[in-house]
């Protein structure tokens, strides 16, 4: 289990760095699908993974002087507030089944939007 986690983490970290999207978006469904944890455990692991990858990306961009503070600071504050509220609701109010359904809808929407962009953009 630790070996799978290490390999999966390295691959997802690399993919997240290349694509520029926090690897938690890939990690959470894989943890559940591979049976490495329950939905709430997967969500918690995904949050930590996203934090680590996002911090690494932020440091890399700040070093390259590509840090638009007029966008990042207000967005970061609103994400923090939303994340705290969402985490509280997920931990105390929603069942694991409800979280799986929410995640499924989000992933399906992302697939549809990505497919639309790939198929119909010039």
pLDDT values of the chain reduced to their tens digit, one per residue, 122 residues: 788 878 887 888 788 777 767 667 778 888 888 888 888 888 888 888 878 877 877 777 776 666 677 887 898 899 889 988 988 887 788 787 887 888 889 888 988 988 888 898 86
Look up the pTM and report it.
0.57
Q: In sequence order, which residues have a C-beta less than 8 Å from that of residue 50 and are 6 or more positions away?
A: 22, 23, 24, 25
Total tally of structural domains belonging to the chain: 1
Domain around 65: 2-120
Cα diameter, the chain:
45
């Amino acid at each position: 289990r630790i070996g799978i986690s290490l390999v999966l983490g390295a691959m997802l970290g690399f993919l997240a760095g290349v694509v520029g999207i926090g690897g938690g978006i890939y990690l959470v469904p894989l943890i559940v699908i591979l049976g490495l944890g329950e939905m709430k455990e997967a969500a918690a692991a995904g949050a930590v993974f996203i934090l680590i990858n996002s911090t690494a990306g932020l440091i890399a961009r700040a070093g390259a002087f590509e840090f638009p503070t007029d966008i990042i600071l207000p967005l970061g504050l609103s994400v923090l507030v939303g994340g705290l509220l969402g985490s509280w609701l997920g931990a105390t109010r929603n069942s694991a089944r409800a979280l799986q359904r929410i995640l499924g809808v989000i992933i399906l929407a992302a697939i549809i939007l990505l497919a639309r962009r790939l198929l119909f953009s010039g």
